[in-house]
Amino acid sequence: MSIIKKLALVVVSLSLVAVSSVSSAKPFSPKKPVELIIPAGQGGGADEIARLVQGVIEKNDYASKPVIPINKSGGSGGEAMTYVKKKAGDEHTLIITLNNVLTTPVNQPELGIDFFNDFTPLARLITDTFLVWIATEGKNTAGVETFDDFIDLAKGNGLVMGGTGSMSEDELLLGMMRGQFGFDAKYVPYSGGGAVAKGLVGGESDFTLNNPSEQMGFYQSGDSKALVMMTPERNPAFPEVPSSYELGYPDLEYYMMRAFMAPAGIDAEVEKYYTGLLHTVYHDDEFQTFNIDDGKLMSWLEGYGLKDFLAIEYEKHGEIIKNFN
Amino acid sequence: METIGFLLDGIFTSLQWFNLALLIFGCLIGLFVGAMPGLGSVNGVAILIPITFIIPPTAAIIFLAAVYYGAMYGGAISSVMLGIPGASTAVATVFDGRPLAVKGEAMTALTAAAVGSFVGGTVSVILFTLFAPPLAEVALRFNAPETFALMVMAFATFVGLGGDDVPKTIFSILIGLALSTIGLDLITGKPRLIFFNIPGFLHGINFLVLAIGIYGIGEMLWTLEETKGKVQMSKLSVNMKEVGRAFGALKKTIMAMNIGSFLGFFVGILPAAGATPASLMSYGITKQLSKNSKEFGSGVPAGVVAPECANNSASTGSMLPMLTLGIPGSPTTAILLGGMILWGLTPGPLLFTQEPEFVWGLIGSLYIANFFTLVLNIALIPAFLMVLRIPFAILAPVIFVLCVTGGYAPTQSLHDVWLMLLFGFAGYILRKLDYPVAPAVLSIVLGPLAEKALRQSLILSDGSMGIFFDMSEKPIAAVIMYIAIVLLIMPAFGPLYRRLFKKKQPA
Amino acid sequence: MSITNKITVKRAEIAVAVILALCSIALMIKSAENRITWNAEENMGAGFLPFYLSLGMLICTILTIIKFVLKRSPQSKDDTPFIDAVAFKFIAVTIISLVVLVLAIGYLGIYFSLIFFLAFYLRYFSEKSVAFITIFAITTPILTFLFFEWMLKIPLPQGISEPLFYPVYDFMYGGFSFAVKMIFIILTVVLPTALVFLTTRFIK
């Protein structure tokens, strides 16, 4: 009996302390460590940015409590999104996006995720680009110098494309290219951008649609080369790679967005706090340098601009998926 | 040779006092984190990444290497002392380490684990220094068909592991494989076996959930039944005689050390294979080649040395695909890779020539970490042994607490804790009816790797299994596959072979 | 006399085999939600492996049942109780308290649930004094908190008790020097732990 009495005493005294401290706080700042949910596994692009953001915040003391990255890679982001949906109103949860937040609600309707009502978009920090890569000494792509050479080759032969997983960004992109250029390829899914890049150089696949950072090592060593970057302009990190606009294919434009969202139902005050925090991170020198060197595009977007952007992207992805099937 | 110069530089850098202090601190964190069921080097390394923004990269690497290696040793401690594999790499250590501890020879088991790990770590650093660049080429050519062949070989080395009841053993293997298919299918992107649409199944069944359930909860229930809660742990004396005996027992494990070190390294350098299959295969092969293979599983030091030697050797080896190909073989190396990228280092074929200080500094500090963890480990054995002196009535709830937190931590979901309880209870009942549980745990570890490689290969071959046996197109895959088949068939001829062999021996 | 005597090894064997057979069938049905074919036109479907693996499981359980009927397995001839009454009570109490613990974690949070779990479990199974149990049940969650949340930065579920931890987090991440935090840890953790060790010596 006496144990329970003692425990009760502890509980009561602790709660008194807690209540007094909660009621005194006015402008929002986190009361406990903030969970940053990553809808992908360790070591991917989203994971890299999440840990970079964590490090920048920690190093410069931008927030009063640390940010803790948590990987929930299950179900193409489905697990992470369900988790955040359940956390509605929670002031200490953020999620970093891949484009799978746009596709998974459509592909897996049984999860019951409503993209527009289950999340509070905060800001987009970065967009990552996609390039068409071939191995320099590729067996089946020998003699391919330009993107047009590649299309001619791909039309006749069933090339093998390495990708990061079924219905992921690069398979959708393959679907888009199939519609535009009329070639098809055998899609082999791997479990991450690094494995895709290695599969290309190791001779298992003929081409890939990797992000810049995933192929950077092999690009620098000359083992792989890029044929086109799917952007309007050339990127300073890849000066000799033409953009799709230059080559006359303005429809071939696609990005990976790295945005942050919070659960639905949080106060405007909280939303403002996190957007402000992300803005500080965005303008951090280290953050800027790292991403620019890595070939990423710095593209801050918040508020209504972001909401419009997401609505357009959501519709666009819905369209791509429909055409794909 | 130039590389040896860089390696020596790396070693000397990690011996500077600030770095050395970090290194010892890192080893301790690693040991501790590794020994906690459910936590592993990944947790130790993850907390470190933000710190690496503050301390210089060299010191950060040394710290990281220390945590990584410390955790490799730590996994063995919980395998031996609690019977719960702390990480997938330490699964095979339970098979003989736990029985040794139960027999009252925990000292021998811990010494065997520590020395085995040290030997594995040493051999692999030498192999790495001598052969790393040419082996990177081999790793590059090791693709899906080769990986699948390797997985078949890993399974083949384990045919002898089950119990006497053949249908129950096969059932155990199959249920492990079936459970490993839960979650999103990588190839088609479709969710599979999501029971009752519970989102927790989307991430599949983590091996740790099954292992902690069966070996943690299940084992505790088993002990509770055996002893009715009235167990007083065996008396243990730690004196020089015991220590001498423990080292003496290692003389018989030279073969296990050889197999573990070399096999571990070569499996470790293969991308996406890593230390887990290495330790399992090393155990299986050592058992099959051993003269007293019947005794494996009942507590022989060689059964501890083989997997521990292999997993440490493989964890050095697995630095190779990470550094040269940018492919992380484990969550830990994935985070390490992320760290490298944040420090402005690009993994790739050029890393060895462009950043030799980094590469050899990392390998050098791995080696120094290896040495200090050995020293720490031997020195701390008396402290570890204190666990066995805790009365069971107190140890049991503590282990339950460790199981619950360990089941929760890797995926941060309570769903996994429920599954763990379920597996623990089911495992206990099944074990009482002579269903062997180890095959299920092995299958769930190797299953996902094997399935992925199989289905990737089948896409490449348009559905033909011929891709695994084509000597001219895929010689590596074919050779491994044929060896695997021989290994699979061998046990059937085992009795015949032994009869022939025995006749030659006098009496 | 009691229920535990009625559950013999023999009965348990057949019951478990039947349950496993049913589970295998359920798995097969569930697997068939995806394509289970593998032929020349279409590559291996997502359901192929789980379907045939569970079919294999079913065959194994049927073999076990056949062995049982033919009395070929040791279990099929064993009429001793599957579990004796005393052990059954221990096991049942353990499993129920674990289930209650996990239920409580979802609601009350892990730290407070652990206090109750440890207090109950130690009271039931050990002959330790109330003083010892109290100290032990309170120090263990504190150590767990420090290890997971402070050292490893792994948040554990806190349920409704979450607001109680806000002041703790404020202290952890507030502008206190390392030394102040260390002194605090020594006062809250090291001393009670030392107390536990001392009490094990002097209090039973």
What beta strand segments (E) does chain A contain?
34-38, 67-71, 93-96, 119-129, 131-135, 159-163, 185-189, 207-208, 224-229, 255-263, 297-302
Q: Which amino acid is at B147?
A: T
CA distance B343 to chain A (A): 9
C138 touches chain A (CB under 8 A): yes
Asked if A74 and B348 come within 8 Å (Cβ–Cβ), the reply is no
Q: How confident is the model at residue B496 (pLDDT cuts 50, 70, 90)?
A: low
Residue B505: what pLDDT?
46
**Interface mutation vs chain B, best among A47, A49, A51, most B CBs within 10 Å:** A51
DSSP symbols for A44-92: SHHHHHHHHHHHHHHHHT-SSS-EEEEE--GGGGHHHHHHHHHTTT-TT
Of B48-62, B99-113, C6-20, where does mean pLDDT reach its minimum?
A: B48-62
A175 touches chain B (CB under 8 A): no
Helix (H) or strand (E) holding A212: helix A212-221
**Counting beta carbons within 10 angstroms of the beta carbon of residue B174, is it exposed (0 to 12), middle (13 to 18) or buried (19 or more)?**
buried
Residue C201: what pLDDT?
59
SS3 content of chain B, % helix, strand, coil (to 5): 75, 0, 20
Average pLDDT over residues C103-127: 92
For chain A, give the percent of residues with pLDDT over 70: 92
pTM for this prediction: 0.87
- β-strand pairing of A159-163 with A185-189: parallel
C87 touches chain B (CB under 8 A): yes
As a whole number of angstroms, the distance between CA A104 and CA B411 comes to 20
Tokens of A252: 């071939």
Region of residue A157 (phi > 0: left; psi between -120 and 50: alpha; otherwise: beta): beta
Is A180 in contact with A251 (CB distance < 8 Å)?
yes
Tokens of A139: 């067996």
Q: Which of C20, C39, C156 sits opposite B405 (nearest CB)?
A: C156
* A255-263: strand order across its sheet: A67-71, A34-38, A93-96, A255-263, A119-129, A297-302
> Closest Cα to residue A249, out of A179, A309, A322, A158?
A179
Which of chain A's residues have a Cβ under 8 Å away from the Cβ of C174?
64
Which of chain B's residues have a Cβ under 8 Å away from the Cβ of C64?
165, 167-168, 171
Residue C121 C-beta-side C-alpha neighbours within 13 Å: 29
A9 touches chain C (CB under 8 A): no
Tokens of B202: 């989307």
Which of chain A's residues have a Cβ under 8 Å away from the Cβ of C159?
none
Considering only alpha carbons, which residue of chain C is nearest residue A63?
A: C173
Asked if A76 and B341 come within 8 Å (Cβ–Cβ), the reply is no
The 10s digit of each residue's pLDDT in B201-225 is 888 888 889 989 998 899 889 888 8
Give the residue, B502 or A274, on which the prediction is more confident.
A274
Sign, CA dihedral A88-B185-A170-B412, equals positive
DSSP symbols for B24-93: HHHHHHHHHHHHSTT--HHHHHHHHHHHTTTS-HHHHHHHHHHHHHHHHHHHHHHHHHTS--SSGGGHHH
* Statement: residue B499 has pLDDT above 60: no
Sign, CA dihedral B328-B325-A68-C172, equals positive
Distances from the Cα of B133 to the Cα of A132, B138, B460, angstroms = 28, 9, 28
Token look-up 């009996």 returns: A1
B42 touches chain A (CB under 8 A): yes
CA B112 centroid distance within chain? 16
Residue A245: what pLDDT?
93
First to last CA, chain B: 54
Average pLDDT over residues B136-140: 82
Which of chain B's residues have a Cβ under 8 Å away from the Cβ of C128?
393-394
CA distance A81 to chain B (A): 10
Q: Which amino acid is at A216?
A: M
Is B122 in contact with B367 (CB distance < 8 Å)?
yes
C167 touches chain B (CB under 8 A): no
Q: What angle do CA C72, C73, C76 make, to 5 degrees?
A: 95
Which of chain A's residues have a Cβ under 8 Å away from the Cβ of C163?
15, 18-19, 22, 31
Residues in chain B: 507
A85 touches chain B (CB under 8 A): no
B347 touches chain A (CB under 8 A): yes
Give the residue, A4 or A72, on which the prediction is more confident.
A72
Residues in chain C: 204
Tokens of B7: 């390696």
B140 touches chain A (CB under 8 A): yes
Q: Which amino acid is at A147?
A: F
The 10s digit of each residue's pLDDT in C151-185 is 788 889 998 998 999 988 888 887 777 777 778 77
C90 touches chain B (CB under 8 A): yes
Is A96 in contact with A50 (CB distance < 8 Å)?
yes
* Statement: residue B304 has pLDDT above 90: yes
Asked if B400 and C47 come within 8 Å (Cβ–Cβ), the reply is no
Kindly list the partner chains of chain B, i.e. chains with 3 or more CB atom pairs below 8 Å: A, C
Which of chain C's residues have a Cβ under 8 Å away from the Cβ of B178?
27, 50, 53-54, 57
Asked if B412 and A41 come within 8 Å (Cβ–Cβ), the reply is no
Residue A109: what pLDDT?
85
Asked if A31 and C153 come within 8 Å (Cβ–Cβ), the reply is no
Residue C54: what pLDDT?
95
Partners of A263 in the β-ladder: A119
Q: How many CB atoms lie within 10 A of CB B418?
A: 18
CA distance B413 to chain A (A): 9
> Closest Cα to residue B479, out of B137, B150, B144?
B150
Rg, chain B, Cα only = 22
Considering only alpha carbons, which residue of chain B is nearest residue A80?
A: B199
As a whole number of angstroms, the distance between CA B444 and CA B41 comes to 20
Residues ≥6 apart with Cβ < 8 Å to C109: C156, C157, C158, C159, C160, C161, C162
Which of chain B's residues have a Cβ under 8 Å away from the Cβ of C110?
404-405, 408
Q: How confident is the model at residue A270 (pLDDT cuts 50, 70, 90)?
A: very high
**C198-202 long-range CB contacts below 8 Å, 24 or more apart?**
C199/C129, C199/C131, C199/C132, C199/C135, C200/C132
> Closest Cα to residue A8, out of C125, C126, A16?
A16
Residues in chain A: 325
- β-strand pairing of A255-263 with A119-129: antiparallel
Residue C1: what pLDDT?
47
Q: How many CB atoms lie within 10 A of CB C144?
A: 18
**How much is the mean pLDDT over chain B?**
84
Q: What angle do CA C190, C194, C197 make, to 5 degrees?
A: 145
C82 touches chain A (CB under 8 A): no
C95 touches chain B (CB under 8 A): yes
Q: How confident is the model at residue B491 (pLDDT cuts 50, 70, 90)?
A: low
Overall fold of domain A2-17+26-128+254-324? D-Maltodextrin-Binding Protein; domain 2 (3.40.190)
A2 touches chain C (CB under 8 A): yes
Which of chain C's residues have a Cβ under 8 Å away from the Cβ of A70?
155
Q: What angle do CA A138, A140, A142 make, to 5 degrees?
A: 60
Portion 410-469 of B in contact with A at CB < 8 A: 411-412, 452, 456, 459-460
Residue B208: what pLDDT?
85
Q: What angle do CA B435, B439, B444 make, to 5 degrees?
A: 125
Domain with CATH 3.40.190.10 in chain A: 131-229
As a whole number of angstroms, the distance between CA B507 and CA B292 comes to 17
* Statement: residue B229 has pLDDT above 70: no
Q: Which of C115, C116, C163 sits opposite A22 (nearest CB)?
A: C163
CA distance A66 to chain C (A): 8
Overall fold of domain A131-229? D-Maltodextrin-Binding Protein; domain 2 (3.40.190)
Domain with CATH 3.40.190.150 in chain A: 2-17+26-128+254-324
Which of chain B's residues have a Cβ under 8 Å away from the Cβ of A221?
348-350
Q: What are the φ/ψ torsions at residue A233 (nearest 5 degrees)?
A: -125, 160
Rg, chain C, Cα only = 26
**How much is the mean pLDDT over chain A?**
86
Asked if B459 and A187 come within 8 Å (Cβ–Cβ), the reply is yes
Asked if C27 and B178 come within 8 Å (Cβ–Cβ), the reply is yes
Average pLDDT over residues B4-11: 83
Burial A159-168 (b: 16+ CB within 10 A, else e): bbbbbbbbbb
Region of residue B434 (phi > 0: left; psi between -120 and 50: alpha; otherwise: beta): left
C74 touches chain B (CB under 8 A): yes
Token look-up 């011996």 returns: B15
Distances from the Cα of A93 to the Cα of A67, A74, A278, A295, B198, angstroms = 9, 18, 14, 29, 21
Which of chain B's residues have a Cβ under 8 Å away from the Cβ of A223?
349
Which of chain B's residues have a Cβ under 8 Å away from the Cβ of A107?
189
CA distance B500 to chain C (A): 30
**Counting beta carbons within 10 angstroms of the beta carbon of residue A299, is it exposed (0 to 12), middle (13 to 18) or buried (19 or more)?**
middle
Q: What are the φ/ψ torsions at residue B56 (nearest 5 degrees)?
A: -65, 150
Helix (H) or strand (E) holding B205: none
As a whole number of angstroms, the distance between CA B111 and CA B248 comes to 10
Of A231-240, B250-259, B264-273, where does mean pLDDT reach its minimum?
A: B264-273
Is B301 in contact with B249 (CB distance < 8 Å)?
yes
Kindly list the partner chains of chain A, i.e. chains with 3 or more CB atom pairs below 8 Å: B, C
As a whole number of angstroms, the distance between CA B115 and CA B109 comes to 10
Is C132 in contact with C199 (CB distance < 8 Å)?
yes
